[in-house]
Amino acid sequence: MRPALAAAAAISAAFLSSSCYVGEQGAAYLALRSKALPAARALADPATPAATRELLERAAAVRAFAVAELGLKDTKNYASVVELDADRLATVVQACAELSFDRYLWSYPVVGKLPYRGYFDRAEAEAEAARMRERGYDALARPVDAFSTLGWLADPLFSFMAGYGEAELAELLIHEMCHATVFLKGKAPGLEQFNEELATFVGRSGALRYLERKYGPGSAELAEARASRAEAEAFASFLRGTAAELEALYAQAAPDGEKRRRKAEIIAARAEEYRALAGSFSSAAYRGFPMGRIDNAYLDLYRLYEGEPELYADYCERLCGADLRRFVGELSRLASSPAGRGDPKAAMRQELEASP
């Protein structure tokens, strides 16, 4: 379901490190990367499909905006394209404890611990998810459409992105460009959450500002994007409510069997509530979403990428005057400080509390 997967995993850097797993996946990524055609050559080639040509032009406009207006790092990312006969780049596995929201973290050289493990072979990802379930975890295998190598390599576009709308493409590229600008590495708890929440906030806010700059504040394009974002937030808010009910259950001193029974009851009850809400969505993906089949891994996907959107919005509004470029600069400063490297979200809260 694409509304739930707007953010892409920043794990290619780990793919390029040493070990059997990352060696195999890194080789697969580099093989794809070797097929990348620079934008100038693709645009000059009359055989380049019109859709790919348009994708390159749209991406160039987003990149220029992100660098000039948002202060994101100017890299060579997304200035080339790979023709790929697929609907995804890779499949990523995430896992979470069955009776808590303790997130499973895979360890990688250089970048530390990350809450996902990616595979270019979908069957391998499904097998990894099955192994995690056998170990007692809730697990899911989900598609991703881009990786960030955090500026180590020039990450390409992929031809299937030609089907993305302007808001979707802008959000994806700005999200990944934010990773290349601000990304905390290490083993301190919560760094992975900060990295993804920050990129999600900048990607979404930046995409809306890009459309406003391109089409105008009263444009139909911007209004449509805002309506779509409002639906996505309503869906995410419902999931956060479900997670809050389950978190309260998991904190109780009760036998595991009782918690499993109550977990199933809460999910079933929330599914009933969602059926009454689903008709208000215009998107068929939301209207038909199987809410009764969610588990901790699916809920934690939302907790990872957008667990506290209000924290970032509040910081941007109150401390940066709603200036997104200033916000990126302030978060970059904070992330490089001793307090930020230890617990960046706590450092954000401290600065908010100290402000008038």
- Residues 291, 238: Cα–Cα separation, whole Å: 10
Residue 21 lies in a domain: yes
Is the pLDDT at 351 greater than 50? The verdict is: yes
Lowest mean pLDDT among 65-79, 99-113, 318-332: 99-113
pLDDT for the residue 131: 97
Query: What's 35's DSSP letter?
Result: T
Q: Given pLDDT bands bounded at 50, 70 and 90, which one contains residue 5?
A: very low
Residue 100 lies in a domain: yes
- Residues 26, 338: Cα–Cα separation, whole Å: 32
Taking only the tens place, the pLDDT of each residue in 72-106 is 999 888 999 999 888 888 899 999 999 999 999 98
CA 152 to chain centre: 19
Q: Which residue carries 């995690």 as its tokens?
A: 132
Higher pLDDT, 107 or 64: 64
Higher pLDDT, 114 or 263: 263
- Residues 262, 234: Cα–Cα separation, whole Å: 25
* Mean pLDDT over each residue of the chain, to the nearest integer: 89
How many separate domains does the chain show? 1
Is the pLDDT at 327 greater than 80? The verdict is: yes
Is the pLDDT at 146 greater than 80? The verdict is: no
Is the pLDDT at 23 greater than 90? The verdict is: no
H helix runs in 89-219, sequence order: 122-134, 166-181, 191-215
> What is the sign of the dihedral through the CA atoms of 137, 143, 145 and 147?
positive
Residue 324 lies in a domain: no
pLDDT for the residue 202: 97
* Mean pLDDT confidence for 217-226: 96
Query: What's 252's DSSP letter?
Result: S
| Nearest residue to 196 via CA among 262, 148, 244, 164 | 148
pLDDT for the residue 330: 96
* Mean pLDDT confidence for 188-192: 79
Residue 83 lies in a domain: yes
pTM: 0.86
In this structure, what token pair is assigned to residue 263?
């977990």
pLDDT for the residue 16: 47
74 is in which domain, residue-wise? 2-307
Residue 316 lies in a domain: no
pLDDT for the residue 115: 86
Residue 356 lies in a domain: no
pLDDT for the residue 304: 83
Is the pLDDT at 10 greater than 60? The verdict is: no
